[in-house]
Amino acid sequence: MSAESNKLLIDIGSTYFKVSTSNSIEQHFRDFNRTILDDLTQKCGDTVQRYDQSDVHICSSANGGLSTLIIGLTQSYSLKYATNIAYNSGINIIDSIVFQDIETYSVPSDLIDVVIVVGGIDSNSGLFDERLDNYLAKLNYSNFVFVGNEPDAQAIKSRIDNVTLLPNIIDNRLHIVETHLKDYLTNLYQQDIEGKEDIKHLYKITSNQIYSTPYVVNKSLPLINASFSVTDPFILLDIGGATTDVHYSKDLLTDNIVTEQGHDRIVFKKLGVYKSRQSLIFTAENNEFSYELLMHLKVTENIYNENSEKATKILMQLAIFLVLCKMSHYRPAYVTLKLLAMNSIVFTGGITKVLTTEDIEDVVAFFYRKILNSEHKPATVLDNNYDIWTLGAKEHAACQ
Amino acid sequence: MKIVTGVIGNDIHVVANRLMDLSLNARGYEVFNLGVNTYLEEFFDASVETGADVLLISSLNGEAEGWARDVKPLMSRYNSLDNLVMMIGGNLTVGSGSATDIIPRYQKYGFDLVCHQVDLNTGLDMLEDYLKEHKTS
Amino acid sequence: MSQLQEERDIILGNENVDSFDFDEVREFVRGADKNLFISHAFANRDKMLVQPRGGFPTYEKQYALYEFFVDANVDVLPLTIDSNTRLNDYATAKKMLRLSEANEVDMLNGYPLVNHGYRTTRKMMTHFNHPVSLRHGTPDARLLIEIAIASGIFEIEGGPITYLLPYSKNFPLDKAFLYWKYVERVCADYSTLNLPINRESFGPLTATLVPPSITIVIQLLEMLLSLEEGVKSFSVSFSQQGSMIQDIVTGKVTRALAKHYAKEIGCEDADIHLVYHQWMGAFPTNRDSADQLINMSTVIASMVGADKIITKTREEAVGIPTKEANAQTVANTQYTLNILSGLPAISDEQEEEILTAEVHAIMEAVFNDPADTLWRKVFNSIKNGVIDVPFSPHIINHNKMITIRDSNKNIRIIERGNVPIPDHCYQYERSCCDLDKDTTDIVNDIIHDIGIMQ
């Protein structure tokens, strides 16, 4: 037996946690009245006990990730590049501000985990005046990183305390430079996970570092064909309790950006079927096709008020439809994907335990017919054994 | 002197674009070439990011009328582009049209310098003259 | 089921494909007439093969074009694909095909092969019973080449670099490499059933002052990427450059190094062919001058010793050529080839040495990239500017190399950018040119050099 088969892999989500050994995988609803460790010990204590601390690998998306505010000079360069890097670093919550209009934005009252300021190539300077200082003075934040032009970095360091300076993410050809900011955010995210009370306890059962789930999933994408028949270009949807994660092949997007990896990630932060249930329903009520979709699924809007298995199922189908809408020209968000070119659509996470392939294909076909007027039918793949997560976790464990 | 240039819209005249790049470099400008198929917003954003003095948009396939009206409204949203010298060159209309009609029209759209079917070097000489004139004034 | 087969099932499950019958297609390829294979024509040829260009939207017009070509004694038929299909937009291609069929006006600039389908197209291909070459320009040609081979088209042009850098601004290059890997594997697989499917690289690239060292390196790399997947018949190509001696040297070095590098990876059993494109740059608008240029190209192709020539037409500067003009070039080219004889053997050792050293140096830099696979080494090399294609619109291309013509119209590198041209070669290239001029004059020379044939 290879070394990896002796490992125990645990993923903590906002709604479920799952535990995978070489020959079994179990999934449990979380009991929010207990700490994660207690809950885990209660439900799978026997399994956990069989493993040595060094063979237990844990990842988590339970804390929702870091909240991020990006202040950038322009939409097409600084904000686009920083947002791309932040999503690919596993960050979920991103708000952005165009610097010239900074005074018109309200100051969020919640604590921001990290503020990213970016803009200008290195031969430009003097771009961030005291309006930045004034805004930051009112803002409640934990970390501040500057990834803009070099001359301004020095000026800002002298004016604002506790700033982290990293190399410019925009080079002199106006291309993106990913590494430094990506490493910084990934590390910050790790520290954040480790710092959470709930997660800290988990170090009693593992001697390995606890990683963020998006980071682990990202690791597995280049290896995805080892477990599934997935054909590029594809998207991978993880519709969770609080957020929906999407990883997509770069060629689904026509964009003037040369990045390192074959897939990019985006998150719809208020699209989920448990914690974000209300905002999901709100989004559905504002989509003119939802009503038709409900009719097609043979239910009425009353389903929104029900708390049944059936209601969960319908909400998940709605979520699939709404996410596809958000990525199409119909409801353009951060990206508009060429969904007619998509060959495969992969689903992972809790949804695969609730919906069948037929349920999913039905709503995907509805989307293509109604929104894109097409009979296009991407191959549907259900990762109902959490292989994608296991692949990434194994890959990571093997490297350690 | 920094200059942002490129070919706008659904236009693939890459040879003309590269020659523009080489010519501007030869004349000593610091050139930021956005290439072919560039959107109007990208031009303005690149001007902001680089701190450009001049924005030189090429349009060679006669489609300029289609987007030129958007220049002023879009540009008015930027606070830092007031001193940007706006230049356009290429084939600015489909079919025939005289420069006497075309130039004032494009000036109204927001361009300081308009070169309709003017050869590359003449156009760049015009730019140099314009910059000299406006430096002293 | 193999991973490739699973991927093929998904690709061919596309809603624009009318039930693809894998077994039937394999049977068809296995039993296909030898005359459909260009690899057969190469093996049995006694002269240079002549292939025109051309594609029309409707079946009828394509059929009529082929009739003209066959009457003009064509050796290899072309099938040029429309630009919607090249961008995988089959829905628009379908709409435009319907309009073209209904209105006698061509709404597409080529043959929408996926929409016509293989059952229909195969009837045309087997009727004419000539080798057919697929010409497209598609970064993701997976579906297209499946339909092509099923139709009886056994030569596939293109490659991840040559079909991307000249045409696209932002299609991700790393994806193009993976999609072309599929193409190579499918070609290799079908090649085991009958005669080999031939793959051909597209050497002209941007057809604008591309120096021979860059052209050859890209030809060799696409050849290696193809052979390593099991392809057994491959054509390297380049287009007329403007100086006869430079073409002759390029042909010689390309042939020698193709053999050398194929052997390096243990693929010396593959058949390698050399293809020459008539002038691909800006054409004279005067039709008579265009004819003279075409004729001169044919003579140079003979001096180069090409295995196949791809022709242009006298209407090149005007638009999509008519079938009459296209067929006329075929007849003229065949005539010239028939009467040309007693060609002298010409060589220039110094030029050969310089060019060989340049190609070796760039290839070595590519192989030295730390990536684990050849495609990723090539990808990184393009990203780093070790390979730099003049006049490419793609954002990944460096655009730092500057080339110009010397007094004999040879293309010379006067600015190498990040391309590892060895110092002595670089000095030689620069010494051939008059660089004491003002930089604006040099730019004017470049403008002139692009339009030398006009």
Range list for CATH 3.40.50.2300 in chain A: 67-189
Do residues C172 and C287 both lie within one domain? Answer: yes
Between CA A84 and CA A66 the distance in angstroms is 15
* Cβ contact, residue pair B22, C450, below 8 Å: no
Residue C439, classified by CB atoms within 10 Å of its CB into exposed (0-12), middle (13-18) or buried (19+), is middle
CA distance A233 to chain B (A): 23
Q: Same domain, yes or no, for C71 and C164?
A: yes
CA distances from B129 to C117, C283, C291, C440 (A): 60, 35, 44, 17
pLDDT at A2 (0 to 100)? 39
pLDDT digits (tens, 9 = 90+) for A352-387: 888 999 999 999 999 999 999 999 999 999 988 778
Do C227 and C179 fall into the same domain?
Answer: yes
C314 is catalytic: no
C269 exposed, middle or buried (CB, 10 Å; 0-12, 13-18, 19+)?
exposed
* C247 & C295 share domain: yes
The SS3 of residue C97 is helix
Average pLDDT of every residue of chain A: 89
Burial C97-112 (b: 16+ CB within 10 A, else e): beebeeeeebbbbbbb
pLDDT value of position A29: 83
Active-site residue flag, C157: yes
Interface partners of chain A (CB pairs < 8 Å, 3 or more) are B, C
CATH class (in words) of the domain with range A3-63+196-215+389-399? alpha beta
Interfacial A residues in 208-247 facing C (CB < 8 Å): 225, 229, 231-233
Structural domain includes residue C274:
yes
Interface membership of A377 toward C (CB under 8 Å): yes
A148 to chain B: nearest residue by CA? B49
CB C224 within 8 A of CB C187: no
Digitized pLDDT (tens) for each residue of chain B, 137 residues in all: 999 999 998 887 899 999 999 999 999 999 999 999 999 999 999 999 999 999 999 998 888 888 899 999 999 999 999 999 999 999 998 777 788 889 999 999 999 999 999 999 999 999 999 999 987 55
Q: Tell me if C344 is assigned to some domain.
A: no
CATH number for region A229-382: 3.30.420
Q: Does A73 touch chain B (CB under 8 A)?
A: yes
DSSP 3-state percent helix, strand, coil across chain C (nearest 5): 50, 10, 40
**8 Å CB contact of B49 and A123:** no
A257 → chain B, closest CA residue = B34
Residues of A whose CB is below 8 A from B79: 100
User: Does B19 sit within 8 Å of C446, measured CB to CB?
Assistant: yes
Q: Assess whether C331 and C426 both reside in one domain.
A: no
Q: Are residues C330 and C356 in the same domain?
A: no
Read off the pLDDT band of A398 (50, 70, 90): low
C376 touches chain A (CB under 8 A): no
pLDDT of residue A68 exceeding 80, the answer is: yes
Place of tokens 């193009």: C176
Overall number of domains in chain C: 2
Of C296, C320, C339, the last residue of a domain is C339
- What are the boundaries of each domain within chain B? 2-136
End position of a domain, from candidates C304, C339, C374: C339
User: In this predicted structure, what is the pLDDT of residue A208?
Assistant: 84
What single-letter amino acid sits at A378? P
Q: What is the pLDDT of residue A226?
A: 80
User: Cβ A123–B30 below 8 Å, yes or no?
Assistant: yes
Closest partner residue to C391 (CB to CB) among B18, B37, B121 is B18
Task: Indicate which CATH number applies to the domain containing C219.
Answer: 3.20.20.240
* Whether residue A83 has pLDDT greater than 50: yes
Q: pLDDT tens track of chain C, all 454 residues?
A: 788 999 999 999 999 999 999 999 999 999 999 999 999 999 999 999 999 999 999 999 999 999 999 999 999 999 999 999 999 999 999 999 999 999 888 999 999 999 999 999 999 999 999 999 999 999 999 999 999 999 999 999 999 999 999 999 999 999 999 999 999 999 999 999 999 999 999 999 999 999 999 999 999 999 999 999 999 999 999 999 999 999 999 999 999 999 999 999 999 999 999 999 999 999 999 999 999 999 999 999 999 999 999 999 999 998 889 999 999 999 999 999 999 999 999 999 999 999 999 999 999 999 999 999 999 999 999 999 999 999 999 999 999 999 999 999 999 999 999 999 999 999 999 999 999 988 888 889 999 999 899 8
Residue A396: predicted pLDDT: 66
Quote the minimal CA–CA distance from B23 to chain C in Å.
Answer: 6
Contact B23 C443 (CB under 8 A): yes
- For CA atoms C417, C421, C427, C431, give the dihedral sign: negative
Query: Measured between beta carbons, which residues in chain A are less than 8 angstroms from residue B48?
Result: 73-74, 119
- Spell out the alpha helix ranges (H) of chain A: 36-49, 80-88, 130-138, 150-159, 179-195, 197-200, 213-220, 277-285, 290-296, 309-327, 351-354, 357-372, 387-399
Nearest beta carbon to residue A124 from set B42, B44, B51: B51
Task: Report the gap between the CA of A35 and the closest CA in chain C (Å).
Answer: 43
DSSP state letter for A79: I
Indicate yes or no: CB of A74 within 8 angstroms of CB of B80. no
Q: How many other CB atoms are there within 10 angstroms of residue A130's CB atom? A: 9
8 Å CB contact of A124 and B46: no
C218 in a structural domain? yes
User: Rounded CA gap, C293 and C284, in Å?
Assistant: 9
d(CA A151, CA A66): 28
Task: Answer whether A98 touches B (CB < 8 Å).
Answer: no
Closest residue of chain B to C393, computed from CA coordinates: B14
Q: Which of C53, C135, C155, C157 is catalytic?
A: C157
Degrees to nearest 5, angle at CA C86 with C81 and C91: 95
Tell me the average pLDDT across A222-249. Answer: 88
Contacts of A256 in chain C (CB under 8 A): 169-170, 395
Asked whether residue A1 carries a pLDDT value surpassing 60, the answer given is: no
Longest dimension (CA), chain B: 39
Q: How far is Cα of residue A363 from the mean position of the Cα atoms in its chain?
A: 23
Maximum distance among all Cα pairs of chain A, rounded to whole angstroms: 63
For chain A, report the end-to-end CA distance as a whole number of angstroms: 18
Q: How far apart are CA A241 and CA A243, in angstroms?
A: 6
pLDDT, tens digit (0-9, with 9 covering 90-100), for A318-327: 999 999 999 9
Q: Which tens digits make up the pLDDT trace of A13-42?
A: 877 788 888 777 788 888 888 888 999 999
C189 within domain boundaries: yes
Look at residue A399 and tell me whether its pLDDT is greater than 70.
no
Q: Is C188 in the same domain as C275?
A: yes
Task: Assess: ipTM above 0.90.
Answer: yes
Measured between CA atoms, how close is A276 to chain B, in angstroms?
34
Chains that touch B (3 or more CB pairs under 8 A): A, C
Clarify whether residues C198 and C139 are in a common domain: yes
Instruction: Determine whether the interchain pair B42/A256 forms a contact, defined as Cβ–Cβ distance below 8 Å.
Output: yes
Is the CB of residue C170 less than 8 Å away from at least one CB of chain A?
Answer: yes
pLDDT of A5:
55
Task: Note the pLDDT tens digit of each residue in A177-218.
Answer: 999 999 999 889 888 887 777 888 888 899 888 888 888 888
For the domain made up of A67-189, the CATH class stated in words is alpha beta
CB contact under 8 A, C175 and A249: yes
What residue of B is the nearest CA neighbor of A101?
A: B79
Q: Which CATH number fits domain B2-136: 1.10.8.60, 3.30.420.40, 1.10.3720.10, 3.40.50.280?
A: 3.40.50.280
Residue C71 lies in a domain: yes
For A114-177, give the DSSP string: EEEEE---TT------HHHHHHHHH--EEEEEE-S-HHHHHHHHHHSTTEEE---SB-TTS-B-
Instruction: Please give the residue of chain C at the shortest CA–CA distance from B15.
Output: C391
Q: Which residues from chain C sit within 8 angstroms of residue B25, using beta carbons?
A: 439
Print the domain residue range for C63: 3-339
Does one domain contain both C444 and C315? no
Q: Are residues C230 and C172 in the same domain?
A: yes
Q: Where in the sequence of chain A do the CATH 3.30.420 domains occur?
A: 3-63+196-215+389-399, 229-382
In the sheet with A112-118, reading across from the earlier edge strand, the strands are: A93-98, A67-72, A112-118, A141-146, A163-165
